[in-house]
A = this chain, B = another copy of it.
Amino acid sequence: MNLLLGFLFFLGFSSTVSAEEKFDSHLLPRPLILEYPETQDILQLKGSDDAELQLQCTSWRFAVEANNLNPWKTIPSKCADYVKDYMTSRAYTYDLERVSMEAGTYAKSLQLAGDGMDAWIFDVDETLLSNLPYYSDHGFGLEVFDGHQFDKWVEKAAAPAIGASSKLYEEILGLGFKVFFLTGRSEMQRSVTVENLKNAGFTYWDKLILRALEDHGKTATLYKSEKRSGMAKEGYRILGNSGDQWSDLQGYAMSNRSFKLPNPMYYIP
């Protein structure tokens, strides 16, 4: 999530462009008109029966988390209540706790080399910090992303920690990993991001990497792959990676293990 997401939307990318496509795809000419398939068409809801709706929205959410969906702009309108209920209930908390627990189990199973080159990457938004206070005012993904409004929220440095991630973060630090925060936020938001991270209890990191000027316009998949590749070239072994978007995790120079935090509210390519 970053201040340029809105800009990226207007740059436009065709419905064929996805997080897993070839990495030179950003160099190809693109239509200037957004060609997302309509999310409502993707979710072919026939009725309004509550149990049926629940079933179909759960199926949609599974497709989000398994990275099966084509690029999408908003959640399906018929799933608005479903997503709200999920995000504000213990279902979301359980999913966060599970991924934190599995990541911790994996991390503890590793034998670190002890040379200070074993690294774990964390994304920031919806991974360490929760923007739920913002999204609860904006339909939990039902509204098209408004970069201007979101930036105003970011400037407050008020995003709370995701509890399950705080726990994992402390474990990872305790095990002796180098800890890298890799965010789609802009370098211009560094100071407010530092402030927010510290407010939320994330007081230490080895690197906090934000989008520099030359990264703007790149997909998150490309930008984050380039940064991971840079770490690998410096000799770091990226053993774990935690993120709420597949674009945090996929591409090249991938981590040995990736952990996908739940997020049915938005999609970043």
Interface set of A (CB-CB < 8 Å, partner B) = 14-16, 18, 20-22, 37, 42, 55-56, 58-63, 65-70, 90-91, 94-95, 98-99, 101-103, 105-106, 109-110, 254-260, 262
Residue of B nearest to A90 (CB): B55
Chain B residue contacts of A66, Cβ below 8 A: 65-66, 99, 260, 262
Chain B residue contacts of A70, Cβ below 8 A: 102, 105-106, 109
| Contact indicator A62/B63 (Cβ below 8 Å) | no
Would you give the shortest CB distance from A109 to chain B, in whole angstroms?
4
| Contact indicator B256/A21 (Cβ below 8 Å) | yes
Of the candidates B60, B95, B255, the one whose C-beta lies within 8 Å of that of A62 is B95
Would you give the shortest CB distance from A141 to chain B, in whole angstroms?
17
Residue of B nearest to A61 (CB): B62
In Å, the complex CA distance between A90 and B47 comes to 15
Kindly list 17 other residue pairs between chains A and B, CB separation below 8 angstroms, not including A14-B109, A16-B106, A20-B257.
A16-B109, A16-B110, A21-B256, A42-B101, A42-B102, A42-B105, A55-B91, A59-B91, A59-B95, A62-B98, A62-B262, A63-B102, A66-B66, A68-B98, A68-B103, A68-B260, A69-B102
Please name 29 pairs of A and B residues whose Cβ atoms are closer than 8 Å in the assembled complex, sorted by A.
A14-B109, A15-B109, A16-B109, A18-B106, A18-B257, A20-B255, A20-B256, A20-B257, A21-B256, A21-B257, A22-B256, A42-B105, A55-B91, A55-B94, A56-B94, A58-B91, A59-B91, A61-B62, A62-B95, A62-B262, A63-B98, A63-B102, A66-B99, A66-B260, A68-B98, A68-B99, A68-B260, A70-B102, A70-B105
Residue of B nearest to A96 (CB): B59
Chain B residue contacts of A109, Cβ below 8 A: 14-16, 70
Residue of B nearest to A21 (CB): B256
The 10 closest A-B pairs by CB, nearest first: A16-B109, A59-B94, A66-B260, A65-B66, A68-B99, A20-B257, A63-B98, A68-B102, A59-B95, A21-B256
| Contact indicator B259/A68 (Cβ below 8 Å) | yes
Chain B residue contacts of A105, Cβ below 8 A: 15, 37, 42, 70
In Å, the complex CA distance between A259 and B15 comes to 16
Would you give the shortest CB distance from A122 to chain B, in whole angstroms?
15
Beyond A94-B55, A95-B59, whether A67 also contacts B258 by CB under 8 A is yes
Of the candidates B67, B102, B106, the one whose C-beta lies within 8 Å of that of A260 is B67
